[in-house]
Structure 1
Amino acid sequence: ICVSLLLAKMSFTDDENIVTQDISSDGKAELAGRVKVDIKNDPNAPLEKSKFIVMLKLTGAGFSKARPGLDLVMVLDISPSMLGEDKFGKMKIAAKFVIKKLSPIDRLSIVTFDDDAERLFRLSVVTKESQKKFEDQVQALVVRCCTNIIAGLETGVKVLNERSVTTRRVAAIMLMSDGYHNRAGDPSKFVVKNYPVYTFGFGADHNPKVLNAIACNSLGGTFSEVRDPDNLSLAFSQCVAGPLTVVAEDLTLTITQDESTIKEVSAGNYTKPEDIEDGSVTILFGDLYDKEIRNITVTLCLPEITSERRSNVLNIQYTYRVGGKLFPADPLSVLINRTKKYVKRVIYELMIEEKRYWITQMITIAIVAAEDNNLEVAKKKLNEAQTLIDKVDFPNPLTEMLKVEVQQLLTLLKTEQTYKARGRSFALSSETSHNRQRYATRGDTGVRLYSTPRMDKYLKEAKLFVENPNNPLPTADENEKEELAADPLGPIAGALSYHIWTAIRSLMAIDDIINKSH
């Protein structure tokens, strides 16, 4: 309580001013196509009352030469347990990797916590000069007593909440801890509504339940399990690659039934059963990274009809922001043919997504059973998941990685001791990653589920950086220049595709009206 009162008296409105780059005056043209929507479904359905599934695939499309700047707060554990296995030294290297990746449009603040929390730097613009100051400050860190995760979180959130400059900014918190909270309060109940909190369980003695809960209680955060201290830089690299490639902010999807009834919507933990109201569901995804994907499956009940006709079964609307400017995309509809001579068609992408959904559900059930010390039920459920994967007729990278993940979970569930010592962290990280459909590091299995091209690039860079932290490292802006040189049309590809498909859909709608009139 004393810490909270002291923090409340402090002001963090001293964030360094930064000139934000405005998007073009032709705002709508600049904003269009940041999110690509693909719809997968059977084009036909019978006249009888029937179940019908629609899959929506939302992809962060293209990159931009004018990305929003990142306001990042690194919250670092400096408790005495960090001395073991040279974890303190490994943390410093990982923090330096993040510092070196940031560019002059980004700002950084570093918060440390032990018995209390301390903001080492105000939210400052990352220049070549300030990078050196950040690195020197990190290098000078020393361990202190206790582990007050709540104090670290409160301070990190306060830094972001009290910013003076928020236009064209995305924000994130990276929190790393290797131990258990041992001060008053329960950090697992700490809720961060406006920003993602990416948590990292470092070493063998962290508290996975608490760190996972903190991530889940934030907007889009994930929990990464980093058992081997040598892998912390790799985990940090994967995390920072996301906020540095945000293409759409506040992504919101609304789906509404039409000549159908929505029975279920599956979108990870972005939705709940009670979210279906009056035949409509609105899903809040937060930020979307370049090439990051959100899959949504909608289960409909089609009513019985007496004659063949075209039927509009679902309406889709989505909006997002770029630099504070709202882009309402043109609405979409799912039109199908209700026919007497119906032959079910196998939709490959839909089949794979259904498999992924059921496998992740089985993983969740297995985790619940393991937490209840019922390892036999947990292993049985994972074996069922393994069987489901083996039955996939068309092996693909997704199912192959799911197979590796399930096998690793089975290994970590051999005994209750193994699960508590190693399996719980891996399992919770896996569950949250699937629920978010966002990459999170888990162990050293090489499972790359939900990773993006920039994450893959940063992984290679981080491996080289760990070998020699003094080697030069390209900033995020330099990475963008490389991507632009390799794909000059990249920044306009999304908008171009959006407008082409909008025109095609308009022509199809006109054709549909003409056919109905005849």
Structure 2
Amino acid sequence: MSKNACILGKPTLPERGRVKETTISKKEAPLEETNFKALVKLEGERSYSDRPGVDIVTVLDVSGSMGDDQKLEKLKTAMQFVIRKLSSVDRLSVVTFANRASRLCALRQITNDSQSDIEKIVKGLVANGGTNITAGLQIALQVLNDRRLSEGRVGAIMLMSDGVQNDGGDARNVAVGNVPVHTFGFGKDYDSAVLNGIANNSNGGTFSIADVDNLSVAFAQCLAGLLTVVVQDLKVTIKPLTVKVGTETIAHKIQNVFAGNYPQTKDEATGSVTVSFGDLYVKEIRKIIVELILPAVEKRVATRSFQVSIQYSVGGRLIAGSPKTVSVTRSGTATEQEPEELVLEDKRLETTRMMKEARDLADGDKLDDAKEKLVDTQSMLEDVEVEEEPNQQTLDVLKTQVQTLKKFMRSPQVYKTLGRAFALACETSHNRQRFASLGEDENLRLFTTPRMDAYLEQAKAFDEDPEKPIPSADDDVKEEIEKDPIGPIASSLSFYLQTAIEALQAMQEILNASS
């Protein structure tokens, strides 16, 4: 275990054991040339004591429409939840926009005094003027870009709006770089296409639909992720392998890599593909489907087909994991079925694609065709059979999402008011494999983490009584340690055990090759 394995009595992870890698695929494939699928699964491991400090810039809409239905007052309440959850390692800035944008609070370290000061600023907000989202976003980016201390810290923007931008140009044209921008739309008149576009321009950002009467819930679950970043700049490289079988050289080839809309780069020389995921939260999962072409072989043989390598940053230091090799036995009697989790992930991607096609049809005033596409999607999902409980939960959420979008397409007006935003939020959430609030329906919780689930309940209680104290992020950590005191230690032991097993397997392959 690393020299910092226990700080202030809080167990933590070794730097190389922060992401759990699993590959799921069939163990055998036919002798003839064949297409082969594998699922690469990555999960952020639990760590308590050494989370990076978070620099959050909140960008708040204070245009005239925010004065309607007490939206601004409800936004102030939700912001108080965010302010009170942060700890001394975190910093917060407040930017507002109407016709113009203003930085009301520099990026301040959280102390008792600064929390009180920032709350006073938020409570003093008034609604007036137009909606210049572009200006607000530009100032927020400037706040983060001007940081003197940024290495090893998590930077993020949380942008909230209830209206249509009518000043300053299209905010989707603002280059946001690698900063995740999480956008929230609430009310009936916000521009979902713009808010979704802003989030999509960033790496890891999400677009959420926030319930006006319970804004704290949407903000809290986004915050739960930012406060549990376990690694940064996560990159995964899938490399096809060329191996010798007797006197013959066998070259495997990657046909496709499916990982949502995260950036991909291909090395033409090696045929490898690298996916850049950005930040990963504790217990958050990323799945990659790899499609390969396995060349024909003449007889039964076990061959190494591809290699998975990961790297990430911890505290500004680049950490490279040991490459892991995936082998497949080629057999003339291969009849194995695809693993359940791989099949379900394939169907999730297909569902995302079909929902997007339905949205495109609806946006083109072809609502009947869009609904027919969703009927086809429902039929496809009904044919999926799963036995494991987590997979059943995912399948149920997929079915509910499709049914909800179909309901929101019952008329052009309902689609314009509710359907388009719902479809866009679903797409972004699926493409990022990251939770996004889809409104008040709690049956639509996909990609959540344990901390998000905890903050959901805390936010509900806070909205009922904002004067009641809430636990800080440090308090949340203490509670998690009490519930699972050996969680990180178990993760560490698992990491070292897996490393030892892989070393023994590599030695066995060397002995087999020399015999």
Return the TM-score normalized by structure 1.
0.92
Partner of 1:123: 107
Residue 453 of structure 1 pairs with residue 453 of structure 2: no
How has the CA–CA distance of structure 1 residues 487 and 268 changed in structure 2, closer, same or farther, with 3 Å as cutoff? same
Runs of 4+ in structure 1 deviating by more than 4 angstroms, as ranges, are none
**Deviation at residue 365 of structure 1 after TM alignment:** 1.4
* CA displacement 1:428-476 (0-9 Å, x = unmatched): 0111000000000112222101111100000000000000000111111
Residue 449 of structure 2 is aligned to residue 485 of structure 1: no
The answer (yes or no) to whether the contact 1:265–1:271 under 8 Å persists in 2 is: no
Q: Distance in 1 between matches of 2:410 and 2:439?
A: 17
Q: Which residue of 2 aligns with 1:256?
A: 239
Choose the corresponding residue for 1:474, options 471, 476, 491.
471
Match for 1:346 among 332, 338, 344?
A: 338
Maintained 8 Å contact 1:32/1:495: no
Give the whole-Å Cα distance in 2 for the aligned partners of 1:346 and 1:169: 41
**Equivalent of residue 386 in structure 1, options 378, 388, 396:** 378
More off after superposition, 35-44 vs 390-399? 390-399
**Aligned-residue offset at 1:275:** 4.4
Structure 1: runs of 5+ lacking an equivalent: 1-21
Deviation of the 1:488 alpha carbon: 1.6
1:90-489 alignment to 2 at 5 Å?
A: 90-226=74-210, 228-258=211-241, 259-271=251-263, 275=266, 277-278=268-269, 279-394=271-386, 396-446=392-442, 447-489=444-486
Per the alignment, in what secondary structure is the counterpart of residue 242 of structure 1? helix
Deviation at 1:86, TM superposition (A): 0.8
**Matching residue of 1:8:** none
CA RMSD in angstroms comes to 1.9
Whole-angstrom CA distance in 1 between matches of 2:335 and 2:427:
36
* Residue identity matched to 1:41: S
Task: Give the Cα separation in 2 of the matches to 1:501 and 1:345.
Answer: 26
What is the distance in 1 between the residues matched to 2:504 and 2:377?
44
Alpha-carbon separation, structure 1, partners of 2:430 and 2:151: 31
Please state how far the C-alpha of 1:130 moved relative to its aligned partner: 1.3
Distance in 1 (CA, whole Å) between partners of 2:3 and 2:425 is 37
Residue 456 of structure 2 aligns to a residue whose secondary structure is: helix
Deviations 1:289-314 (A, max 9, x none): 00111110001111111122111111
CA distance change for structure 1 residues 23 and 166 in 2, over 3 Å: closer, same or farther?
A: farther
SS of the aligned residue for 2:457 comes to helix
The 2-side partners of 1:412 and 1:62 are apart by 38
Gaps of 5+ in 2: 7-11, 242-250
Name the aligned partner's letter for residue 492 of structure 2.
Answer: A
- Length-normalised TM-score, structure 2: 0.93
The offset of 1:367, in angstroms, is 1.4
Of 494, 506, 509, which aligns to 1:509? 506
Q: How many residues align?
A: 495
**Offset at 1:354?**
1.3
Other structure's SS at 2:227 match: helix
Residues 98 and 128 in structure 2, CA contact (< 8 A), matched pair in contact too: yes
8 Å CA contact 1:33, 1:496 repeated in 2: no
**d(CA) in 2 for partners of 1:32, 1:280:** 22
Inter-partner Cα distance in structure 1 for 2:299 and 2:225: 50
- Residue 48 of structure 2 aligns with an amino acid whose one-letter code is S
Aligned to 2:17, the other structure's residue is in SS state coil
Identity %: 45
CA distance in 2 between partners of 1:425 and 1:51 (Å): 37
Q: CA deviation at 1:353?
A: 1.1
1:43 maps to: 27
